[in-house]
Structure 1
Amino acid sequence: MDGVDLMRPIIEFCVNNLTPDVEKIKEELEKDPELDVVEYGCLGHCMTCAEGPYALVNGDVVTGETAEELLENIRKAIEEMEEFGF
């Protein structure tokens, strides 16, 4: 078994982007034992942060117009990464 099978997706949130709706999304993702969910003081994507909800999925920026769309896009990003073995 190679190490790729053991890696879980890492979802990173910026504390400055945690509106109540995004906080709910983060909490929902934290319930999934197949994900590592981390909150940082700043992720260094200030322009993206100012524009709306976002997170990093394995280091890639994922955005949404709403928290719900962000969650959908995070799940899509994870599915795509799993398809391609990332």
Structure 2
Amino acid sequence: KHIRYKINRRPSQMKKGSARSQAQLKRREHEKSSVRAKVEHVFGVVKGLFRYRKTRYRGLRKQTAKLNMLFALANLILADRRCLPA
């Protein structure tokens, strides 16, 4: 699978161009930011709640399995938070 990395532009770079192109650019930047925000919540749970900040070299298989499990649990926790009333 090919991953496309998308980096948001700085606000000073967005002011160049016509009003129409600025609106399109702003919409595109908003789409990128919304995806990043969803992903960063999961990382916040893994690093904050599970205290997974450093990794030791144990082998790629073990590390991959551990990270897959942590991210699956983080997704379940975030889904549970959305379902429960505040």
TM-score by length of 2: 0.31
Structure with the larger helix share: 2
Rg (Cα) greater in structure: 2
TM-score by length of 1: 0.31
The structure with higher relative contact order (CA 8 Å, sep 6+) is 1
Structure with the larger strand share: 1
